[in-house]
């Protein structure tokens, strides 16, 4: 099995690509603090899944990285919310990304629970 087969990786990577494409068309996006932070936290969510998978034989380490991925998902939600409030991101798109990152966090937690019960995935 490869990390690319994980549904949480696929969702995180999809959201990262979509969010990046959405944000780089904002006029003067490089001057908006939340844009850079959203891109960074979105990428961090993906990277932590990948790094955690590399430590899959050490459950505590794997879970530590999945936990960090969920924290990055929460952070991304907050940045997207701020971008929507400030009018830099259409509210419909902001809601889409907020819900996507909530779903990612839930799916990650569900995966951790399955691993806890079965000690495999």
- Return the CATH number at 71: 1.20.1440.60
Q: Mean of the pLDDT values across residues 61-86?
A: 96
- What's the domain count of the chain? 1
Mean per-residue pLDDT over the chain, rounded: 94
Range of the domain at 97: 3-118
Which of 24-28, 30-34, 92-96 has the highest average model confidence (pLDDT)?
A: 92-96
Answer yes or no: is pLDDT of 118 > 90: no
Nearest to 26 by CA among 42, 34, 15, 111: 34
28 contacts 75 by C-beta, under 8 angstroms: no
Local confidence band at 16 (pLDDT 50, 70, 90 cut-offs): very high
């Amino acid at each position: 099995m490869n990390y690319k087969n994980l549904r949480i990786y696929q969702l995180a990577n999809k959201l990262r690509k979509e969010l990046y494409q959405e944000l780089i068309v904002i006029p003067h996006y490089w001057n908006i603090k939340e844009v850079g932070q959203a891109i960074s936290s979105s990428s961090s969510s993906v990277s932590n899944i990948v790094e955690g998978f590399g430590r899959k034989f050490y459950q505590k380490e794997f879970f530590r990285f999945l936990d960090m991925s969920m924290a990055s998902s929460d952070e991304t939600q907050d940045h997207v919310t701020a971008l929507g409030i400030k009018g830099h991101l259409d509210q419909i798109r902001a809601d889409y990304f907020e819900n996507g990152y909530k779903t990612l966090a839930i799916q990650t937690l569900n995966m951790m629970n399955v691993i806890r019960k079965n000690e495999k995935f």
